[in-house]
């Protein structure tokens, strides 16, 4: 998938990337919400680079397992 096809599948907002916190506030997509037993809910967000990396991993995993790769579902997979 090309970034131009993939990135519009996500909603982008300013936030901190979980893998690149040093970048500070960048354009990020929501990937996951953690629900710790104690404390507040934690949103996991990723920058464009990380979304592309994670989608590529999902695509490879889908090809390996013979299932259909559907982009745009990072936040939905368990
Ligand atoms: Zn990142």
Structural domain range at position 18: 3-64
Residue 60, classified by CB atoms within 10 Å of its CB into exposed (0-12), middle (13-18) or buried (19+), is: exposed
Q: How far is the CA of 50 from the centre of ligand 1 (A)?
A: 4
Distance in Å, CA 37 to ligand 1 centroid = 26
pLDDT in the model for residue 47: 98
Per the model's pLDDT, the better-predicted residue between 69 and 76 turns out to be: 69
- How far is Cα 70 from Cα 58, in angstroms, rounded to an integer? 9
- Asked, for residue 72, whether it belongs to a domain, the answer is no
User: Residue 76 falls within a domain, yes or no?
Assistant: no
**Exposed, middle or buried, 1 (CB in 10 Å: 0-12/13-18/19+)?**
middle
CA of 39 from ligand 1 middle (Å) equals 24
Whether residue 1 is predicted with pLDDT greater than 90 in this model: the reply is: no
The mean pLDDT value for 61-76 works out to 92
Domain count across the chain: 1
Evaluate whether residue 13 is within a structural domain.
yes
- Please check whether residue 11 lies inside any domain of the structure: yes
Residues 24-65: tens digit of each pLDDT: 999 999 999 999 999 999 999 999 999 999 999 999 999 999
pLDDT at 75: 78
């Amino acid at each position: 998938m090309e970034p131009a096809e993939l990135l519009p599948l996500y909603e982008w907002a300013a936030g901190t990337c979980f893998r690149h916190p040093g970048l500070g506030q960048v354009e990020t997509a929501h990937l996951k919400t953690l629900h710790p037993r104690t404390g507040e809910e934690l949103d996991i967000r990723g920058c464009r680079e990380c979304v592309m990396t994670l989608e590529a991993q999902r695509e490879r995993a889908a090809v390996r397992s013979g299932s259909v790769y559907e982009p745009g579902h990072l936040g939905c997979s368990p």
